[in-house]
Amino acid sequence: MAREETNVGGEVKSIGIAEARSALTWWLEAGVDVVVQEEARDWLAPAPIPPKAVPAEPAPTPEPTLDTLDQFRDWLGSGENLPMARPGARRVMPLGGEQPAAMLFVEAPEDASAPLSGDAWELTQRMLAAIKITAEQAYVASLSCFHTPGARMTQTDRQACAEIARRHIALAKPKRLLLFGEGPSQALLGKPLPSARAHVHKVEGVRTVVTFHPRQLVNQPSNKSLAWRDLLLLMEEES
């Protein structure tokens, strides 16, 4: 449907619907959307910049159900975004069963076969035998379940590993806990090895003692007498 428009000279000019819409659109873009405006309008002011769209945060990944030691170990074996999961890293699973006579913790595996291996594991077995615990009665784990050659554990990694280790201990339910070396001492006790040694601690309610890493004892046999005192302290009866 066409509409008629009267020009200045009094002549009548007909325009079509498309032309009327075009004119109306131009008026709206020019700001002619009201007959009277109370405040003056700055027609030369730049158009306002629309705010940047804020991307929606991804939904948090639900934590796996870790009510049993088996579920926890399955998670260690297949879970994503675990601390120290670097390119080329290989997972190293803990060894042992629930309610062990002693649970042993190192910072990270020395190789991809087990948390403790080689000469260090042979010495560990002799240390356990001296306090009448067989290898089968022990549970051997590491703060990081990855063997990553050359990688160093950052403070953030250590804190994340400590939370995982505490859950690990609670589910394994060991009678005693033996921490090998500086890493587990700092992560689970917040103390360096020299000041944490020769004292009894509690981690998740478990009697805990810190001593030298077996690899250090292999390289520095003079510390074996101090480690023996730590083992005796570990096995003392609760008062």
CATH number at residue 150: 3.40.470.10
| Contacts for 10 with CB less than 8 Å, ≥ 6 apart | none
* 169 domain residue, yes or no: yes
* 63 domain residue, yes or no: no
pLDDT for 238 = 75
Measured in Å, how far apart are the chain's first and last C-alpha atoms?
Answer: 102
* 122 domain residue, yes or no: yes
| Tens of pLDDT, residues 165-175 | 999 999 999 99
Distance CA 173, CA 156 (A): 26
* 66 domain residue, yes or no: no
pLDDT for 40 = 56
Mean pLDDT of the chain: 83
Mean pLDDT of 224-238: 94
| pLDDT surpassing 90 at residue 58 | no
Report percent pLDDT > 70 for the chain: 72
| Tens of pLDDT, residues 115-160 | 999 999 999 999 999 999 999 999 999 999 999 888 888 999 999 9
pTM: 0.73
Which residue range(s) make up the domain with 217? 90-235
pLDDT for 24 = 52
| Tens of pLDDT, residues 29-47 | 444 454 444 555 554 566 5
* 67 domain residue, yes or no: no
The domain total for the chain is 1
* CA distance to 50, 52, 58, 61, 85, per residue, from 55 (Å): 15, 9, 9, 17, 27
